[in-house]
Every structure is written in structure tokens, then in C-alpha cells.
């Protein structure tokens, strides 16, 4: 993922947060990736999000680590939408774009509910 897009995604989530905020953007973790019929270890950067308040089944302080490769896959699938590809190229993500990226990258578990 482009560094500018990654930083803008994190900034948008932090600035427009409701119940989820950015905890860390620079941590790296090891993951197992299924590819070519086997599992392969991958070390990548993770976007760590934290629940600021209890929300649904998630208690205050719950942390999600979303690997950068999941964010990449979400961005690539959203590039089929009209206008999204251009906003990515220009680095002008909207709140809805950020919500959609996180929703897809988290296997549809996290709905950010961002507000201005």
C-alpha cells in the first residue's frame, strides 16, 4: 500500500473517530498467508485499532490488528467503484472510503461509523 494512502487512512480514522481509534500504525507482525496450496510466513505492517468505548460485543479497549496486505486487498477490490480509484490516486480518501476499506479488510467485522 502506498505510504501516503496508508497515512491518510489512519489520519481519517483518527480525526473522524466515534467508537474506534487508531492505536498504532508502525508495528509489524508475523502472519501465515495461504498461497499456492500452502501456508507461508509473512511479516508485514499492521494497522492497530482500539475500541474507545464499549460497542456491541466489543468491550472498551478491544484491539484489532489489520495486516497491510488485507488493506491492500480491500483497496484493490474497491478500485472497481467509480471515483474511488481517482481518489486513491490523488490521495483524497473520504470518510466513506475509509469505512469501506476497514470493513472489507476486517472481514466485515468493524463498522467505524465515522463522523465529522
Residue 115 falls inside a structural domain: no
In whole angstroms, what is the distance from residue 62 CA to residue 54 CA? 9
Residue 114 falls inside a structural domain: no
CB 48 within 8 A of CB 63: yes
Is the pLDDT assigned to residue 99 strictly greater than 90? yes
Residue 110 falls inside a structural domain: no
Question: What pTM was computed for the model?
Answer: 0.92
pLDDT at 1: 82
Residue 113 falls inside a structural domain: no
Containing domain of residue 56, as a range? 3-105
Q: CATH code at 60? A: 3.30.1520
Q: Would you give the end-to-end CA distance of the chain in angstroms? A: 25
Beta strand pairing status for 28-35 and 20-24?
Answer: unpaired
CB 114 within 8 A of CB 22: no
Beta strand pairing status for 28-35 and 38-51?
Answer: antiparallel
Residue 111 falls inside a structural domain: no
Residue 59 falls inside a structural domain: yes
Q: For the chain, how many structural domains are there in total?
A: 1
Task: Report pLDDT digits (tens) over 8-23.
Answer: 999 999 999 999 999 9
Amino acid at each position: 500500500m502506498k505510504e501516503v494512502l496508508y497515512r491518510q487512512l489512519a489520519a481519517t480514522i483518527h480525526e473522524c473517530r466515534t467508537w474506534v481509534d487508531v492505536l498504532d500504525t508502525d508495528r509489524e507482525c508475523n502472519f501465515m498467508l495461504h498461497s499456492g496450496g500452502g501456508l507461508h510466513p509473512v511479516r508485514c505492517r499492521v494497522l492497530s485499532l482500539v475500541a474507545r468505548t464499549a460497542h456491541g460485543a466489543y468491550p472498551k479497549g478491544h484491539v484489532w490488528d489489520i495486516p497491510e496486505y488485507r488493506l491492500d486487498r480491500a483497496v484493490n477490490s474497491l478500485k472497481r467503484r467509480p471515483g474511488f480509484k481517482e481518489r486513491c490516486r490523488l490521495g483524497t480518501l473520504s470518510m466513506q472510503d475509509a469505512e469501506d476499506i476497514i470493513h472489507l479488510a476486517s472481514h466485515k467485522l468493524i463498522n467505524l461509523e465515522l463522523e465529522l
